[in-house]
Amino acid sequence: MREAAVVSQSNPLQRIPGVAIVLVLLIAVFGAIAPGFLSVANLSNVLVQSTILTMLALPMTLIIMTEGLDLSMGAVLTLTSLCVAIVSLATKSMLLGLGAGLLVGAAFGTVNGWLVAILGIPPFVATLGTLGMAQGLSLIVSDGQSVVGIPHSVRDIYSATLLGVPVPIVMALASYAAFHGLLYHTRFGTYIFALGGNREALRYAGLSPNRLLIAVYAIGGAMAGIAGLLMTARMNSGHPTAGLGLEFDAIAAVAVGGTSFERGNGWLLGTLLGVLSVGVLRNGLNLISLPSSVQVASVGVLVIVALFLDGLRSRA
Amino acid sequence: MTDISKDAIAPPRSFLSQDAIQVFYRLLAALLICAVLAVLSDSFLSLGNILNVLRQASLTFFIASGLTLVVLTAGLDLSVGANVALSACIAGTVIHKTGSPALGILTGLACGGIVGLLNGVMVTALRIPSFIATYGMLWVLNGLTYWYMAGETLHDFPAGFRQIGSGYLFGLPIPVYLLLVFLGIGTLFAQRTIWGQEIYAIGANPVAARLSGIPVARRLLLVYAVSGTMAGLASIIFLSRLNSAEADIGESLTLPAIAAVLIGGTSLFGGVGTVFGTFIGALILTLVLNGMNLLSVSANWQPLVTGIIVILAVWLDMKTRRRAQ
């Protein structure tokens, strides 16, 4: 475990260049070719739009650190967003809506963790199965239709400000602080490093790797629940395909941010920079009026390049 | 200790007969589902419905058969559905522009094959884990297809071309004949050729395979290219049956194809499974979805049920194998 801690402290310094260079390059390129990219209004727009992705990418970092993966996150976000919409519509209460989203998200995360840890099903297949389940449940609870007419208290979350800072950004920063504290300053965080790097050590230390693993996936589901509230607020409705493919942006952010898929070391600040890279890329392509399809394809290329570079580094 | 002695006493079990038993169980399951559906629904046993099931199963099988080879090497190809969509749209455009179905078919197959080859390059040369590489490919292909189609739909293909997917020969749908052909080719290739056996060996133990002189990278390239080409073939059948091509036709195809492979008894961990098993898997999945349809369950339930089936299939497979060891 001491080894894991040393890895976590030394590697980030070597990694700062990688993702930071990507981000600076993207900003420089779009600043040069995309009109209005560097305006304050647009940059704050990029930040606000990156908040939902931040909520997914932070727990995705922990999951990937355990040599796992959660392909169901986008579909679970869709389902929790619908739950928030339906429950807040029925009860007129934003908090009850959030509670429903959190509950459903955490339940899905727990099922993911259970399938991976207890049944031993490879994570990408287990979460592919729950992706289908969440997608199906979204269609069933919404009957394939948008849920509209949700209370103002939900919508206002996306547009409100706290001391001049938009509330979504406050929520994203608070999440980052919580995850940073959890990963680097608690025993649980050290165990997460060990889950990926040295699972045997946990067993010798008398801990249950299975329970820890379930907790990691459950946190991911719960965060998808909170992100579901933001999604519903942003769209001012619940929609059965709202989160389609968002898990891929999250995986992209984590991969670009320098967290390795195979060696159990992760870097949360890198993930945050990765989220911003994905956000800048999508926003910039949007400004030079390339359709969202090209944005999707370019994020795909970004992931493959990042993984290729990661592979080169690990062999070097 | 006890395990070793038990193995020494037990008679050697041949690999194929173990597979045959697995396939037999699955055939029984398919028959059981048929019996239940025949009781629950009057229209299940009608000729029209049975032919419909076979045609539907053949579409899933084309995608799933190539995927079986990939899974046999302990890999996964998540891009097959998106590959079908891109290949169908490109093949459709070529048919419209040139008026030649043959040229369109060739382009569709080539497009699928090239995408598969790129997957293979990412897995072998760039050493990206297959499920991540092909997942990235999924979104690249999705983006390309939506960009290429720009919301358009292609339709009105030549009548002769439409026969491939919707025509009949001696009372059976043409895709069913294609299914039998590819079932035969796939089974012969996997069980009776050296390349096929090498694919099993790579999945069972990649290190041993490399040390015994199997060109692992080249066989993997082949496997991903075959999976892509079969997706290309499926795109042609889809195109001619639907008589239209849209950017979103691939979105609901990947999960059923993976489900068919896993229900068919091919292990995610590589080295175990058969193409025939995948055919039974495609049949079982189609029967379940067809049954839900006959019992007027909304199509909205299909992804939920398919997801549950995927997880159940993997879990059952792991359980039986653990017991067998």
Residue of B nearest to A122 (CA): B268
Instruction: Determine which of A33-42, A153-162, A197-206, B146-155 has the lowest per-residue pLDDT on average.
Output: A197-206
Q: Which residues of B touch A308 (CB under 8 A)?
A: 122, 126, 128
Question: Does residue A4 surpass a pLDDT of 80?
Answer: no
pLDDT digits (tens, 9 = 90+) for A100-111: 999 999 999 999
Mean pLDDT of B104-127: 94
Residue of A nearest to B127 (CA): A311
CA torsion angle B263 B268 B273 B275 (round to 10): 70
Residues A99-127 as b/e (b if ≥16 CB within 10 A, e otherwise) read bbbbbbbbbbbbbbbbbbbeeebbbbbbb
What is the spatial distance between Cα B141 and Cα B118, in angstroms, rounded to a whole number?
Answer: 12
Q: Which of B136, B146, B303 sits opposite A300 (nearest CB)?
A: B136
Q: Which of A131, A139, A262 sits opposite B300 (nearest CB)?
A: A139
User: Is B311–A121 a contact, with Cβ atoms under 8 angstroms apart?
Assistant: yes
Of the two residues A228 and B167, the one the predictor is more confident about is: A228
Of the two residues B291 and A199, the one the predictor is more confident about is: B291
User: Is B298–A131 a contact, with Cβ atoms under 8 angstroms apart?
Assistant: no
User: Is B314–A126 a contact, with Cβ atoms under 8 angstroms apart?
Assistant: yes
Residue of B nearest to A144 (CA): B300
Question: Does residue A142 surpass a pLDDT of 70?
Answer: yes
Tell me the pLDDT of chain A averaged across its residues.
87
For residue B88, give every residue at least 6 positions away whose Cβ sits within 8 Å of its Cβ, in sequence order, or none: B108, B235, B236, B238, B239, B245, B249, B250
User: Is A132–B142 a contact, with Cβ atoms under 8 angstroms apart?
Assistant: no
Residue A216, pLDDT score: 95
Mean pLDDT of B133-160: 88
Mean pLDDT of A202-223: 90
Residue A114, pLDDT score: 96
For residue B16, give every residue at least 6 positions away whose Cβ sits within 8 Å of its Cβ, in sequence order, or none: B191
Residue A116, pLDDT score: 94
Residue A263, pLDDT score: 66
- 0.95 exceeded by the pTM? no
Mean pLDDT of A269-291: 91
Residue A1, pLDDT score: 35
Mean pLDDT of A72-91: 95
Mean pLDDT of A9-37: 76
pLDDT digits (tens, 9 = 90+) for A147-193: 988 888 888 888 888 888 899 999 999 999 999 999 999 988 888 88
Q: Which of A136, A143, A261 sits opposite B303 (nearest CB)?
A: A136
Mean pLDDT of B200-220: 91
Residue A3, pLDDT score: 40
Residue A206, pLDDT score: 79
What is the spatial distance between Cα B272 and Cα B71, in angstroms, rounded to a whole number?
Answer: 9
Q: Which residues of B touch A299 (CB under 8 A)?
A: 139
pLDDT digits (tens, 9 = 90+) for B244-271: 888 888 878 988 999 999 999 898 888 8
Residue B13, pLDDT score: 45
Instruction: Determine which of A1-10, A232-241, B69-78 has the lowest per-residue pLDDT on average.
Output: A1-10
pLDDT digits (tens, 9 = 90+) for A221-240: 999 999 999 999 999 899 99
Mean pLDDT of A281-293: 87
Q: Mind telling me how many Å the CA of A311 is from chain B's nearest CA?
A: 7
Q: Of B246, B304, B306, B308, which to mutate for an interface test with A (greatest number of A Cβ within 10 Å)?
A: B304
Residue B259, pLDDT score: 92
Residue of A nearest to B137 (CA): A300
Q: Mind telling me how many Å the CA of B302 is from chain A's nearest CA?
A: 7
Question: Does residue A314 surpass a pLDDT of 70?
Answer: no
For residue B197, give every residue at least 6 positions away whose Cβ sits within 8 Å of its Cβ, in sequence order, or none: B191
Query: Is B248 exposed, middle or buried (CB count within 10 Å of its CB: 0-12, 13-18, 19+)?
Result: exposed
- Residue A305, chain B, CB below 8 Å: the answer is no
> Most confidently modeled of A153-157, A200-204, A283-287, B227-231?
B227-231
What is the spatial distance between Cα B71 and Cα B220, in angstroms, rounded to a whole number?
Answer: 11
Query: Is A187 exposed, middle or buried (CB count within 10 Å of its CB: 0-12, 13-18, 19+)?
Result: exposed
Q: Which residues of B touch A132 (CB under 8 A)?
A: 255, 303-304, 306-308, 310
Question: Does residue B37 surpass a pLDDT of 50?
Answer: yes
pLDDT digits (tens, 9 = 90+) for B303-312: 899 899 989 8
Mean pLDDT of B33-60: 89
- Residue A126, chain B, CB below 8 Å: the answer is yes
Mean pLDDT of A86-98: 92
Residue B172, pLDDT score: 86
Mean pLDDT of B29-35: 90
Q: Which of B129, B139, B258 sits opposite A245 (nearest CB)?
A: B139
Question: Does residue A9 surpass a pLDDT of 50?
Answer: no
Question: Does residue B313 surpass a pLDDT of 90?
Answer: no
% of chain A beyond a pLDDT of 70:
92
% of chain B beyond a pLDDT of 70:
94
Residue A313, pLDDT score: 66
Residue B325, pLDDT score: 61
Q: Which two tokens stand for residue B215?
A: 């060109």
% of chain A beyond a pLDDT of 90:
51
Q: Mind telling me how many Å the CA of A119 is from chain B's nearest CA?
A: 7
